Amino acid sequence: MNKRNVVINVEYLTRVEGHGNIVVDVKEGTLEVCRLDIIESPRFFEGMLRGRSVFEAQHITSRICGICACGHTLASIQAAEDALGVTPSEQTVKLRRLLLHMELLDSHILHIYLLVAPDLLGVKSFIPLIDTHNKVVRRALRLKQTCNEICEILAGRHVHPISATVGGFTKLPKEKDLDAMRYMLEGMRPDMEATIELISKLKFPEFERDTEYVALVSDTEEYPLLSGDVGSTDGVRMHKKDYRSVANEFVVPHSTAKHAKLSREAYAVGALARLNLNYEKLHPHAREAASLLGIRPKCINPYLNTAAQLVECVHCLEDAAMLVEDLGKSGIRQEERILVALNEQSAIPVRAGNGVGAVEVPRGILFHNYEIDEQGTIVNANCIIPTTQNLNNIEHDMEKLVPELLDRSDEEITLALEMLVRAYDPCISCSTHLTSVRIQR
Amino acid sequence: MKKPKVAFFDFACCEGCQLQIANFGEALFDILGMIDVVEFREVMSEKWNGQLDIAFVEGSITDFHAEERIRQIRERAAILIAYGSCAAIGGVNGMKNTFDLEEIRKYVYGPEYHFFATEKTKAIPQVVKTDYVITGCPVYPPEILVVIKAALQGTSCSPPDYPVCVECKLNENVCMYDRGVACLGPVTRAGCNSWCINNGNICYGCRGMISNPNERGAREVLEKHNIPLPFVVNKMNLYNKCRE
């Protein structure tokens, strides 16, 4: 056994919701401390929602995260509609699925190209890649821009969507918009193939740790992202209303984000969890991509979450193309356009209630829960974000990983840990900004 | 000419405004041709500790640690730009100021709430001298370019001080009040090209209030449509609570 000392202190590992540090202390070959400290500035969204109308909840909670703004919007709307007893129309559900697909694509592309690829290519960011891999960077930005443009058609913009509200959409795509989306999605296919070719040639670190994977599951043939029960690879299946028994949140002093566990010491959510639970429901082209990238369920290498994201990109692209075809055939019912605002016109019947939204957003399952009074005012609110659920699992990965790497240099250990945290895509800035690495021997 | 050194920093926010930069797509190459980005944690691991020509600051100041950090950034930067509503006017983070801080900490974190420090939310100009302001939640991309150009040339530039209604009328939208719902367009700074109303929704006031709103006119509109004033003030507090 390697009797060395290792002290790793990655300060200011920052993420969208705030900041974090990686702290590792090995004394004479024994791991004594291994933590992912989250020191973000709390923003108290759940507290601030109290007293606000449930009809503006989606507008407020979208501001929790600029990267998965559409996901928060959709989870919020689902919780509000559940509390109010509103059932969305078939057309609304299709448009929401389409919007969610575009966000998964956009976010995954950003993570794969701008956050993970620089590590695999041995540089600090995409900036040096502009010179060395110009076509690759252009392809990434082009793919992202297309996702954004489709979101613009669907909801006004991607960062903080405008027109998705309780009850439906405040604007609806016209026939020319459907044509534009069809054209743009078609145009993404060659870039997607090139992405698979690029990523399948890169080597991900080898590391395995068996854990419980949690994602939405359902009895339908659809890859569940917007509806279903909560399921796990340990055989759990619960209604989304029981989300608190899934997450079992607990507070730890070193983190301003709460921690979570289910059947064992920790669980993971995200693309890899979804793939492990719902592999058979992926589009055939996505399963082909999975085999090219070398992933099969149950895959327990957390570094391959990035590859699982690429598999999902293919699925989302193909399913989005199918949804647009579908909407084209049935035609968009423009009369479903809705204006709710704060429900001044009682466009939506209001009742007191308690509702839960469970949506698969880029980084995993997201829960929103609102309790509202008979005026539609929020009395209590609770949101459980995917990164919160993954923190505990990341720490357990780190605890297994560090002892396996003791024959490597401190720099290599640090990079392996940074890459591990990045693989979970905890939030964009977290994965890119790792500064002041201090190592003592 | 040597390219100016530019950095992006963030405080309490969603970082969606930084993301708007990445969303320029391939046009980003043109912007990167004019400036030397030395620190931008959303997409870069590189770090620069020296003097900056321009610092973009996103997010609100919500604790002592942040206040210290923004003062240090101010010292290093020749030009400081408050970027996005959280920075410019406090934005949604300001809603926290409606509550007793001890109470809201307890509500979110439970009995262990003392681990989680927080102070009253402040906008960047309430803490340090701010040279330019780009408001909006999120920022409106064409406006980013206008302010970057002004900052590079050293000319003055501030968000329009007339209401969103001006742009909304030019866009020929039907007035939300005539559609039966309340909208903050009449008191909110323009510059977004009435983004939300063009997409069928109301204005939520994300860009902050104009300095001299036509209060009598606004009151008349509210009276005509039978909308109580507190209802609209509560809506304004969604983004503008820090003005107090």
Tell me if A434 and B45 make a contact (CB, 8 A cut-off). Answer: yes
Residues A243, A231: Cα–Cα separation, whole Å: 11
**How far B214 CA sits from the closest chain A CA (Å)?**
23
> What is the rounded average pLDDT for all residues in chain B?
92
pLDDT for the residue numbered A40:
63
Element (H, E) at A267: strand A267-268
Sheet order of strands, A267-268 included:
A237-238, A229-232, A212-217, A267-268
CA nearest to B111 within chain A: A251
pLDDT for the residue numbered B1:
67
CA nearest to A72 within chain B: B14
Residue (of A322, A283, A332, A286) closest to A154 by Cα position = A332
Q: Which DSSP category does B244 fall into? A: -
pLDDT for the residue numbered B43:
73
Instruction: Please compute the mean of the pLDDT values over residues A1-19 and round it to a whole number.
Output: 62
Tell me if A47 and B180 make a contact (CB, 8 A cut-off). Answer: no
Contacts of A157 in chain B (CB under 8 A): 138, 195
Instruction: Please compute the mean of the pLDDT values over residues A59-72 and round it to a whole number.
Output: 93
pLDDT for the residue numbered A435:
25
pLDDT for the residue numbered B31:
86
pLDDT for the residue numbered A429:
35
- Kindly report the backbone phi and psi dihedral angles of residue A287, in degrees, each rounded to the nearest multiple of 5, phi listed first: -65, -35
Instruction: Please compute the mean of the pLDDT values over residues A129-157 and round it to a whole number.
Output: 94
CA of residue B103 relative to chain centroid, distance: 27
Check pLDDT > 90 for residue A347: yes
Q: What string of DSSP letters covers A151-181?
A: HHHHHS-SSS-SSEETTEESS---HHHHHHH
Cβ neighbourhood burial of A330 (10 Å; 0-12, 13-18, 19+): exposed
Contact indicator for B156, B150 with CB cutoff of 8 Å: yes
Residues A44, A49: Cα–Cα separation, whole Å: 9
Question: What is the percentage of chain A residues whose pLDDT exceeds 90?
Answer: 71
Residue (of A348, A352, A346) closest to A370 by Cα position = A352
Tell me if A341 and B202 make a contact (CB, 8 A cut-off). Answer: yes
pLDDT for the residue numbered A9:
76
**Tens of pLDDT along B221-232?**
999 999 999 999
**How far A29 CA sits from the closest chain B CA (Å)?**
30
Between the alpha carbon of residue A114 and those of residues A29, A138, A301, the distances in Å are: 35, 11, 21
**Tens of pLDDT along B59-79?**
999 989 899 999 999 999 999
Which of the pair, B189 or A384, is modelled with greater confidence? B189
Instruction: Please compute the mean of the pLDDT values over residues B195-211 and round it to a whole number.
Output: 97
Instruction: Please compute the mean of the pLDDT values over residues A145-157 and round it to a whole number.
Output: 97
Tell me if A51 and B44 make a contact (CB, 8 A cut-off). Answer: no
Which of the pair, B105 or A55, is modelled with greater confidence? A55
Residues A361, A367: Cα–Cα separation, whole Å: 10
pLDDT for the residue numbered B46:
75
Q: Give the count of domains, chain A.
A: 1
Residues A298, A40: Cα–Cα separation, whole Å: 33
What's the CATH number where A91 sits? Answer: 1.10.645.10
CA of residue A68 relative to chain centroid, distance: 7
**Residue found under tokens 């540089």:** A123
Q: Does A121 touch chain B (CB under 8 A)?
A: no
Which of the pair, A15 or A71, is modelled with greater confidence? A71
CA nearest to A125 within chain B: B44
Which range, A217-226, A260-269, B25-34, has the best average confidence (pLDDT)?
A217-226
Give the torsion sign (CA, A257, B14, A313, A244): positive
Q: Which fold has domain B5-153?
A: Rossmann fold (3.40.50)
> Is A78 inside a domain boundary?
yes
Check pLDDT > 50 for residue A439: no
Three-state DSSP class for residue B243 = helix
Three-state DSSP class for residue A301 = coil
Single-letter amino acid code for the residue at B229? L
Contacts of A126 in chain B (CB under 8 A): 43-44
Give the model's confidence band at A3: pLDDT under 50 very low, under 70 low, under 90 confident, else very high: confident
Chain A to chain B Cβ contacts (< 8 Å): 204
Check pLDDT > 50 for residue A386: yes
Give the model's confidence band at A17: pLDDT under 50 very low, under 70 low, under 90 confident, else very high: very low
Q: What residues does each domain of chain B span?
A: 5-153, 164-243
Instruction: Enumerate residues 167 to 206 of chain A having a beta carbon within 8 A of any beta carbon in chain B.
Output: 169-171
Contact indicator for A277, A231 with CB cutoff of 8 Å: yes
Check pLDDT > 80 for residue B129: yes
Tell me if B15 and A67 make a contact (CB, 8 A cut-off). Answer: yes
> Is A430 inside a domain boundary?
no
Which of the pair, B126 or A436, is modelled with greater confidence? B126
Q: Does A64 touch chain B (CB under 8 A)?
A: yes
Residues A126, A132: Cα–Cα separation, whole Å: 10
Strand partners, A35: A23
**How far B187 CA sits from the closest chain A CA (Å)?**
17
pLDDT for the residue numbered A15:
33
Q: Which domain holds residue A351?
A: 45-391
Tell me if B16 and A160 make a contact (CB, 8 A cut-off). Answer: yes
Instruction: Please state the ipTM of this predicted complex.
Output: 0.95
Give the model's confidence band at A8: pLDDT under 50 very low, under 70 low, under 90 confident, else very high: confident
Instruction: Please compute the mean of the pLDDT values over residues A203-220 and round it to a whole number.
Output: 97
Residues A160, A73: Cα–Cα separation, whole Å: 8
Among B12, B29, B200, the residue with its CB nearest the CB of A339 is: B200
Give the model's confidence band at A306: pLDDT under 50 very low, under 70 low, under 90 confident, else very high: very high
pLDDT for the residue numbered A433:
27
Tell me if B10 and A14 make a contact (CB, 8 A cut-off). Answer: yes
When scoring B201, B226, B236 by the number of chain A Cβ atoms within 10 A, the one with the most, hence best to mutate, is B201
Give the model's confidence band at A255: pLDDT under 50 very low, under 70 low, under 90 confident, else very high: low
Residues A307, A311: Cα–Cα separation, whole Å: 6
CA nearest to B203 within chain A: A341
CA nearest to B184 within chain A: A341
pTM: 0.94
